[in-house]
Every structure is written in structure tokens, then in C-alpha cells.
Copies of this chain bind each other. A is one copy, B any other.
Amino acid sequence: MALGKDYTGQDCSLSRGLELLGERWTLLVVQNALYGVRRFNDFQVRLDIPKAVLSDRLARLTEGGVLEKRQYQPSPPRFEYLLTDAGVELWPVIYSLSAWSHRNIGGEPPRLFRHASCGSGLLPSSDCPECGSIPPGEVEMYPGPGPKRTDPVSRAMNRPRRLLEPVVPA
């Protein structure tokens, strides 16, 4: 990750994971991909991230097998970044870290999550208390009490929706 140096000498899987995912912005990009963001411009608008950094992060995540870059129309050529299966498997990591942060740092969450088919809120592990482990496609996201961004991408995301459902700004 940062500073050209990797975590050489470290012997654990975590350090290898952090080389790919541990840089600034990277996990927020993955989070937004889970929320349905797919296009360069939409990531940029929603995250307020410098374009050069976004470009780098999308490229690394693509190399690393977390995202896949696809052309979604031939002309003008336009691209989107989709989560791979490996990328989707990051949902429990991202949710559990969000949940930890909410419990231990505070702040009102702008978005809440529930199991779409039974309506239960999720456990910190991202499991459903009634049904156990559930895939992200069955998780419904809906507005919570916290403050929300007002850019078009965030507004499109604030309507109740499943994870992974593509965001289409107005």
C-alpha cells in the first residue's frame, strides 16, 4: 500500500489484504460499489475524491480481482465497474466495521439495513437474527436518521433499495 513499501516481512493474511484494501479511500469505494455505484463519475461525485486517486483505486481493485471493468455502451465508449464475487464477499467486512464504528464512535447512520424477505435488522456480523447468513442481494437499505449528502448520486441512493442494485442518478 502506501509509500511504495508493502508490508514485507509480515506473515499474515491480513497484511496481504491491507496491501490491496488498506489505502485511503479504497474501502469506501468498495462500500459504494455494494450500494450500487458503478461509474467513474458517480463515485467521484458521491465521494468527493480526487480523480487521480479514484482512477488509481479503481485500477488496483480491478487488478486485485475485487472489481471488473466493463464497457456498457459502444459509442460513446462508457465504462462501469462491477463487483466480482470476491468483491461482494467484502460485504460482511464492511458492514461489521461500519457497525463497530457506529457503536463505538457514534453519529447517526444515514442508512439502515434489513433482511428484505423478513424485515429484521441485521446483526453486527451482517447476519439476519431470524434467518442466519444472507447474501447482500437480499439486504434492503433504507434511509436512517443521520445527515445525508445532497449530490444527485447520494439522493438516488437514499431511496429504499437492495444492495448491488445499480444507482441511477436523476
Q: Contact residues of A with B, CB < 8 Å? A: 1-3, 7, 9-18, 20-22, 24, 27-28, 31, 47-48, 64-65, 86, 89-90, 92-94, 96-105, 107, 109-111, 124-127, 133, 146-149, 154
Contacts and interface: CB of A to CB of B under 8 A. Distances in A.
A103 B84 CA distance: 14
A154 B9 CA distance: 12
Contacts of A92: 96, 124-125
A14 B104 contact: no
A141 B146 CA distance: 40
Of A3, A21, A104, A125, chain B has the most CB atoms within 10 Å of the CB of A104
Contacts of A93: 93, 96-97, 100
A102 B13 contact: yes
Contacts of A124: 92
A148 B94 CA distance: 28
A17 B98 CA distance: 7
Nearest to A90: B100
B147 A11 contact: yes
Contact of A148 (B11, B17, B48, B103): B11
Given A11-B154, A20-B105, 18 more contacts: A9-B48, A11-B146, A13-B109, A14-B28, A14-B94, A15-B28, A16-B107, A17-B100, A17-B105, A18-B27, A22-B24, A86-B103, A89-B103, A90-B100, A93-B93, A93-B96, A125-B125, A125-B126
Contact of A14 (B3, B27, B125): B27
Nearest to A20: B105
Contact of A13 (B11, B21, B105, B133): B105
